[in-house]
């Protein structure tokens, strides 16, 4: 049975504190975190970003994966110390990550890409600019002039995600790690906090759902869990493509009906024009009958003999 001693998961990486603040935010769990997933580092989005590895965090529904991502540091000269889980007092204790002038102890966990379990071999600050170790960083897609090549040897080749306990990494902080712990630290940046919050709210990042193989194990930019910058863990389904803007709908032709089409009504017949009325025929005045001559006026014709 899982036993949560101090439920502060909502505060992990979400509290943005002043630079001088020194606050320990921890969660203790009886269940060991899953193994670290294997994934390829996405390309650096632009110069000046630093790589922050992914890790397992704890929430109300159990362990969930926070994808690794490239992040702009809060100030020049600061480096990222990753979070880690360690066995202490019969439970697994979560140690949050922080920014500082030196990389501190992170349990000896081999997160890869320069985080071998002891310090950071992925780059260093030189005269106010960050120099990248080309052998462990995916920076071929951007123009970066401050680079160097240094072979990095991994001390461990397993993917154990916690220190101590049964099956955990056996590592103790060095003297340099203890000095780094006492330095001034800064909590995760607001962009990192949003990144963590987005992962905590995504059901697909739960270990109970992805069985240790998240569909998005790393992202080129914080919080961008889709598109070409999202990288799946080895053995996991590829991440969903980036959403495309909706295309304007084209008018679709109406399907032909199986029923006989009704004939279109015939146009109304033209109204016949009425002929212009003609003038009525003029009445013909009757001619008077020829007048017969009066007897006295008749011409006397001689009788024939």
Backbone angles phi, psi at 112, to 5 degrees: 85, 170
Rounded to two decimals, the pTM is 0.72
Structure tokens at 289: 């009958």
Task: Please say if the pLDDT value at position 297 is more than 60.
Answer: no
Q: What is the pLDDT of residues 66-115, one digit of tens each?
A: 999 999 999 999 999 999 999 999 999 999 999 999 999 999 999 999 99
- pLDDT bucket at 247, cuts 50 / 70 / 90: low
Residue 237 is predicted with a pLDDT of: 75
Task: Please say if the pLDDT value at position 28 is more than 50.
Answer: yes
Q: What is the mean pLDDT of the chain?
A: 82
Backbone angles phi, psi at 253, to 5 degrees: -70, 140
What DSSP letter does each residue of the chain carry, written as one string?
---BS---GGGTTT----TT-------EESSPPPPPPP-PPPPPSSTT-EEE--EEEEETTEEEEE-EEEE--SSTT-EEEPPEEEEETTEEEEE--EEESS----TT---BTTB-SSS--SEEEETTEEEEETTT---TTS---SEE------S--S---EESSTT-B-----HHHHHHHTS--BPPPHHHHHHHHHHHT-GGGBHHHHTT--S-SEESSTT--SSTTEEPPTTSPPPPPPPPPPPPPPPPPPPPPSSPPPPPPPPPPPPPPPPPPPPPPPPPPPPPPPPPPPGGGS--PPPP-
Q: What is the pLDDT of residues 171-224, one digit of tens each?
A: 999 999 999 999 999 999 999 999 999 999 999 999 999 999 999 999 999 999
**Distance from first CA to last CA of the chain, Å, rounded?**
175
Chain position carrying tokens 């880690």 = 84
Contact present, 71 and 50 (Cβ < 8 Å): yes
């Amino acid at each position: 049975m899982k036993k949560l001693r101090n439920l502060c998961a909502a505060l992990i990486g979400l509290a943005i504190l002043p630079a001088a603040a020194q606050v320990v935010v921890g969660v203790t769990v009886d269940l060991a975190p899953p193994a670290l997933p294997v994934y390829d580092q996405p390309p650096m989005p632009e110069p000046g970003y630093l790589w922050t590895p992914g890790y397992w965090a704890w929430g109300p529904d159990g362990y969930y994966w926070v994808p690794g991502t490239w992040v702009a540091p809060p100030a020049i000269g600061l480096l990222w110390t990753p979070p880690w889980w360690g066995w202490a007092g019969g439970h697994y204790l979560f140690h949050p990550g922080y920014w500082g002038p030196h990389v501190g102890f992170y349990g000896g966990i081999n997160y890869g890409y320069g985080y071998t379990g002891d310090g950071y071999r992925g780059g260093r600050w030189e005269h106010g600019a960050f120099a990248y170790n080309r052998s462990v960083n995916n920076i071929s897609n951007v123009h970066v002039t401050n680079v160097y090549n240094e072979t990095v040897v991994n001390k461990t080749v397993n993917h154990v995600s916690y220190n101590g306990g049964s099956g955990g990494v056996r590592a103790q902080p060095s003297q340099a790690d203890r000095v780094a712990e006492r330095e001034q630290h800064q909590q995760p940046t607001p962009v990192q906090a949003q990144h963590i919050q987005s992962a905590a709210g995504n059901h697909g990042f739960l270990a109970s759902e992805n069985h240790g193989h998240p569909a998005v194990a790393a992202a080129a930019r914080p919080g961008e869990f889709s598109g070409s910058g999202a990288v799946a863990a080895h053995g996991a389904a590829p991440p969903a493509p980036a959403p495309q803007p909706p295309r304007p709908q084209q008018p679709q032709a109406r399907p032909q009906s199986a029923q006989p089409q009704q004939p279109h009504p015939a146009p109304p017949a033209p109204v016949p024009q009425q002929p212009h009325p003609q003038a009525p025929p003029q009445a013909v005045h009757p001619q008077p009958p020829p007048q017969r001559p009066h007897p006295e006026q008749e011409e006397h014709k001689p009788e024939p003999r």
